[in-house]
């Protein structure tokens, strides 16, 4: 929703930051699970930090339980 921190975060990461430096490391080969895009990972980490989650395990748990994090992963 426009006017929220989450909207601003998504807008900045998707439209203002140049993440092309990560493209060489972003690999979606045929084996294993599909990789998350660098933009999704950055948004997840920044949203976690904004909510006081500094542990990667707590951020992962929030991705399973928190609707804001779930929406971040479901949006294409």
Q: What is the pLDDT of residues 43-66, one digit of tens each?
A: 999 999 999 999 999 999 999 999
How far apart are the C-alpha atoms of 70 and 76, rounded to whole Å? 12
Note if the pTM is more than 0.95. no
Q: Across 1-55, where does the E strand assignment appear?
A: none
Please provide the distance, in angstroms rounded to a whole number, between the alpha carbons at the two ends of the chain: 16
**pLDDT of res. 74:** 67
Domain boundaries, the chain: 5-22+37-74
pLDDT tens figures, 4-34: 898 899 999 999 999 988 877 777 777 877 7
Q: Which two tokens stand for residue 44?
A: 């997840």
């Amino acid at each position: 929703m426009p006017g929220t921190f989450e909207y601003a975060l998504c807008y900045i990461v998707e439209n203002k930051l140049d993440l092309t430096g990560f493209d060489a490391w972003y690999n979606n080969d045929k084996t294993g699970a599909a990789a998350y895009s660098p933009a999704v990972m950055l948004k997840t980490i920044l949203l976690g930090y904004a909510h006081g989650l500094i542990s990667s395990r707590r951020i992962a748990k929030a991705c399973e339980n928190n609707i804001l994090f779930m929406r971040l992963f479901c949006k294409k």
